[in-house]
Structure 1
Amino acid sequence: MNGLIGDAAQAALETRIAFLVELARRLHQYGTSAQRLEVAIAGAAQRLGLSADVWSSPTAIIISFAELSRGEEGLAQVTQVMRLSPGDVNLARLCEADAIADRAIAGELDLREGFRLLRALGRPDTRRAQAGVVASYGLSAASVAALFLHSSWADLIVAGAIGLLIGLITVLSATRPRLAVASDAISALVATAGAILVSAFVVPLAIKSVVLASLIVLVPGMSLTTAVREISSQHLVSGVARMGGAIATLLKLTFGTVAASQLCAALGIDPGTYVLPPLPRWMDWPSLLVGALGFAILFRAARRDWPVVVGAVVVGYLATRWGGLLSGAIPGAPFGVFLGGLLLGALSNLYARYKHRPGAVVREPGIILLVPGSVGFRSVSYLFERDTTLGMDSFILLLTLLISLVAGLLFGDLLVSPRRSL
């Protein structure tokens, strides 16, 4: 967000505070991390003639406001406390909120009108947008099955179909609080039971690969990465809280898969063990493009940003693959993840600097294929199965990948300094 102190700074104190509070609410709702939100609101407040002390966590925001004219020793005049649900990335509305803030702070838009426009961003999704989200779950699941798990055609089709079903559960849970609490466990149960039933009665499947691909969007890899980024930037409360939420999601997903497996075993349903031939290697490229399009829809990017999002996903994947091969390890090894994070962090800052739009348009979808959510899911699954050796090995790999990715993003910020808070 950019802008200078102008007419907007002369507006009534209550008007300026109301605008900033609504802006903070929208940034939080659309997936902005704690450190970026705090910097954005503090900077916007200063350009409106206010001093703001901001504290952000995944479920709350506290902001204290005071007039800059009162000096550093002046006590806060207003303190606002907001209890919020954890946000979800919505790139289109994040860009809209950023543009509204820039125009209002620059004096091109009245603060009251800016407040009204920000409040209007909270409108519920249309049926078309909900259908797009459901489709994105199916596309993402099918692409991951082909791109990373090298499954068969049957695995790909079933993973995509189960992904659509999970997308439907997720959309329905958005307006049903009781369903939302258990939606992760229910989705995992449905995915595992569906894969076992298809494998037993229709066509043999690689059960674990299909289940992992189906649940890939729900696996909290992005939350784990954001948590480590917040902890590394000394936002300890927010980072630890976000880490706790991610672990709780992993536990619910793992419980759902284990419960479904035991239920099918108790009913005597034995899935086939014959593994079909994997997809040809040339399928990686179409799968990558389809998956990138699915992620563009999943992150609710505006259509004009789809080429940017698809390009970011492709660049992140290729950088990670090339970095892994360069280090003599398999694609997706720690050095490859570090290189991917470094490149995407720098590119997102360049995009924000020259396009004057949030770098999140490049950064968030770009790292989606780098985040180690699947490793965390496997680690907890092994522990549930009492295989502590594999569980601890996977846990150590998870930590290594998280550190590599976060280090890459931090070094990317050093390589190209961010000039915008988002």
Structure 2
Amino acid sequence: MQASELGQLRRFIIKLGTSLHSYGAPAHRLENLLEEVTHTLGIEGVFLVTPTAMHFLFREKDSDEEYNHIERVQPNLFDLNRLARTHELVDAVLAKQIDLSQARAQLEQIKTMPDPYPRWLMLLAWGVLSASFALVCGAQWQEIIAASAAGCFAYLLVLLSERSKHLEEMLEPLTALLIAFMVSAATALGAKLNVPIVVLAGVIAYIPGLVMTIGLRELAARHVLSGTVRIMDAGMTVFKLYFGAMFGLALAAIWWTTPQIPLQVATVSIWSYLAVFGLSLSLLIIFKISWRDAPWGLLAGGIAYLSASLGAEVFELSLAGLIGALVVGIYANAYSVLKNRPTSIVLLPGIVLLVPGSKMYIGLNNFVTGESILANTMNSAQILLAFMAIVAGLMFANLILPPKRRH
């Protein structure tokens, strides 16, 4: 291979890796994909991917010369539309339908392409997500409306943070602080709201339950560094959200007294299924899944909820996620085989309905204050068991029906 060709290939691999990382590809799958691509294109590559850094090592076959490259990256929100488009580009490169210079140009085009949904629809999705979560928790209608307004407010702060680096660093605790303060003020003015439930529903899009699950999955795949970093980052995010909310309530208590509303017991009803539909639909938009994949992602949410409900009847509640993850994992792998699309497109919308992310926040509140936000909640051991059950379900799903592609 000529030096110019080798340099062009390395630049493409580096650009491909950083692009997939920014769209939310897990470390263990991203490393496998990069190794597969480099091997197919005629060189050897070794990769170390973490949420904040990527290390690339290239060597030609039957050569002792090596090329190292380190790239500083940042954890980002999931963008499954761009992730799918990038995988399609990889297929075209491996099939030699386009050359590497064209591929690099298309990677840039994918990066700058418009989002599949306008911002007003994204705002609506954040509101529906918070309202649906409040409904799942057994909230009353006034609390559901307040939660929806809080979710919309949280997204407006996300838009502002795109223009301010300082606001981006303080986004989670500041959002929780402001929502807690405003909800407390609304109750002081006469609104009958369960403040902890409305605050939790308002920041539910920030709760890193999915990040925690991915981190545990990476640990299970023996990607220790990346998995540990993700888990620590998820834990820190929960702490920032919780203590931001506590500070907001403490500030509000200086001026007024927040009335205590009795805890609600969440029960399964027709409204629960409506809430699951709202959660699934809003997650499709938040994850930026394209319209052509949206029906499959929406179906994944329903499959995850129904199979987890069945699992709760067979096993104890903390193990229900194993059945849910197993079924939705097999469904996602079948989708990958039949459609030749990334499993993440339908896997993430289903798994996120199973992860007990909100239970992390509730468990922290129980530990600090000794009080429970919800009447039916889990202790710390049950929360950990629920996370590990989901990871086990995904591993068994890959054993029963491996995905067509390693991503």
2:138 is aligned with what amino acid? H
Choose the corresponding residue for 1:144, options 128, 133, 146.
133
Q: Determine if the alignment matches structure 1 residue 368 to structure 2 residue 356.
A: no
On the 8 A contact 2:17/2:30 being kept in 1, the answer is: yes
**Structure 2 matches for 1:344-355, cutoff 5 A?**
344-355=328-339
Q: For residues 272 and 297 of structure 1, what CA distance do their matches in structure 2 show?
A: 35
**Structure 2 matches for 1:15-414, cutoff 5 A?**
15-68=8-61, 70=62, 74-123=63-112, 129-146=118-135, 148-271=136-259, 273=261, 281-327=269-315, 329=316, 333-385=317-369, 394-414=379-399
1:3 aligned residue? none
TM-score, normalised by the number of residues in structure 1: 0.90
What's the offset of the Cα at 1:251?
A: 0.8
What's the offset of the Cα at 1:419?
A: 2.5
Q: For residues 168 and 298 of structure 1, what CA distance do their matches in structure 2 show?
A: 14
What's the offset of the Cα at 1:386?
A: 5.8
Q: For residues 17 and 268 of structure 2, what CA distance do their matches in structure 1 show?
A: 48
**Equivalent position SS for 2:59:** strand
Deviations 1:125-165 (A, max 9, x none): 5696333332221111111111x201111111110111000
Distance 1:108 1:88, change over 3 A: same
**Equivalent position SS for 1:121:** helix
CA RMSD after TM alignment:
2.5
Q: For residues 330 and 270 of structure 2, what CA distance do their matches in structure 1 show?
A: 30
Q: How many residues align?
A: 404
On the 8 A contact 1:204/1:276 being kept in 2, the answer is: no
Distance 1:394 1:105, change over 3 A: same
Distance 1:20 1:9, change over 3 A: farther
2:12 is aligned with what amino acid? F
1:56 is aligned with what amino acid? V
Distance 1:107 1:91, change over 3 A: same
1:359 is aligned with what amino acid? T
Q: For residues 219 and 159 of structure 2, what CA distance do their matches in structure 1 show?
A: 31
Deviations 1:248-299 (A, max 9, x none): 1011001111101111112123236378999993222222222211010010
Q: Gapped runs of 5+ residues in structure 1?
A: 1-7
Bigger drift between 214-223 and 125-134 goes to 125-134
Q: For residues 64 and 355 of structure 2, what CA distance do their matches in structure 1 show?
A: 42
2:281 is aligned with what amino acid? L
On the 8 A contact 1:152/1:277 being kept in 2, the answer is: no
What's the offset of the Cα at 1:28?
A: 0.3
TM-score, normalised by the number of residues in structure 2: 0.93
Bigger drift between 283-292 and 114-123 goes to 283-292
2:362 is aligned with what amino acid? R
Q: For residues 401 and 94 of structure 1, what CA distance do their matches in structure 2 show?
A: 28
On the 8 A contact 1:139/1:291 being kept in 2, the answer is: yes
2:401 aligned residue? 416
2:75 is aligned with what amino acid? P
On the 8 A contact 1:341/1:406 being kept in 2, the answer is: yes
What's the offset of the Cα at 1:102?
A: 0.6
**Equivalent position SS for 2:57:** strand
Deviations 1:43-65 (A, max 9, x none): 01111001110100001111111
Q: For residues 268 and 243 of structure 1, what CA distance do their matches in structure 2 show?
A: 37
On the 8 A contact 2:183/2:198 being kept in 1, the answer is: yes
What's the offset of the Cα at 1:11?
A: 8.2
Identity across the alignment (%): 26
Q: For residues 196 and 44 of structure 1, what CA distance do their matches in structure 2 show?
A: 54
Q: Gapped runs of 5+ residues in structure 2?
A: none
Distance 1:126 1:367, change over 3 A: closer
Distance 1:246 1:411, change over 3 A: same
Bigger drift between 230-239 and 280-289 goes to 280-289
On the 8 A contact 1:135/1:167 being kept in 2, the answer is: no
On the 8 A contact 1:204/1:274 being kept in 2, the answer is: no
On the 8 A contact 1:24/1:41 being kept in 2, the answer is: yes
On the 8 A contact 1:152/1:278 being kept in 2, the answer is: no
Q: For residues 126 and 201 of structure 1, what CA distance do their matches in structure 2 show?
A: 40
Q: For residues 169 and 22 of structure 2, what CA distance do their matches in structure 1 show?
A: 18
Distance 1:383 1:276, change over 3 A: closer
What's the offset of the Cα at 1:200?
A: 2.4
**Equivalent position SS for 1:304:** coil
1:301 is aligned with what amino acid? I
